[in-house]
Amino acid sequence: MRIYGLTGGIASGKSTVSGMLRGLGAHVIDADVLAREVVAPGTPGLQEVVERFGDVLSPDGTLDRKRLGARVFASEGERRALEAILHPRIQARFLEKTWALGEEGIPAVIYDAALLFERGLDAAMSATIVVWVPAATQLQRLMSRDGITREEAEARIASQAPLDDKREKATHVIDNSGSREETRAQVEALWARLVEEAG
């Protein structure tokens, strides 16, 4: 099985590209979905997060991601502590899911992960795809999407490796700075190529 790592930066359009790939029939494993699964109510992951970070639950017993996010984005130490709890669990879920798809005879899987390069996960991929936009576009999109200040947006962007660095390391680049149609055309061409590669 070939596993293609899909990444980008916050507000670069990675989710849009991931959705386009799904629409073309790709099997996409989303690291964000895995991250939610490992801290679902009743899981050891959620218990450990509460033990480490304290009052981060919503009234319904689910993780209050916004409250937790405000803490971890403000401190690199806190962010690293959260990653130490979540990432081994996310990795284990990813391996379970890829194994199951492999058993079904699926030849290619897309792993949609924001921190693909930061966590060194690119080393385990057959190839990597980066969804790229210029830094100014990324900042503007994040501010308008999340309704946050320039300072908050810059802090969130700074918590990830710069998009230009990711572009340098990538096997394939999707330039998402143009229209949706232009992005879709790139995605369709790339997926056709990957399907051919996977045989």
- DSSP, collapsed to helix, strand or coil, labels residue 176 as coil
> Which pTM was predicted?
0.85
Q: Which residue has the tokens 């919503």?
A: 58
Rounded to an integer, what distance in angstroms lies between the CA atom of residue 173 and that of residue 188? 13
Say which CATH architecture domain 2-198 belongs to.
Answer: 3-Layer(aba) Sandwich (3.40)
pLDDT 10s digits, 4-57: 999 999 999 999 999 999 999 999 999 999 999 999 999 999 999 999 999 899
pLDDT at 82: 95
Q: What is the DSSP string of 91-131?
A: HHHHHHHHHHHHHTT--EEEEE-TTTTTTTGGGGSSEEEEE
pLDDT 10s digits, 136-187: 999 999 999 999 999 999 999 998 889 999 999 999 999 999 999 999 999 9
* Domain positions in the chain: 2-198
Report the chain's mean pLDDT, rounded to a whole number: 94
pLDDT at 77: 93
pLDDT at 2: 95
pLDDT at 150: 95
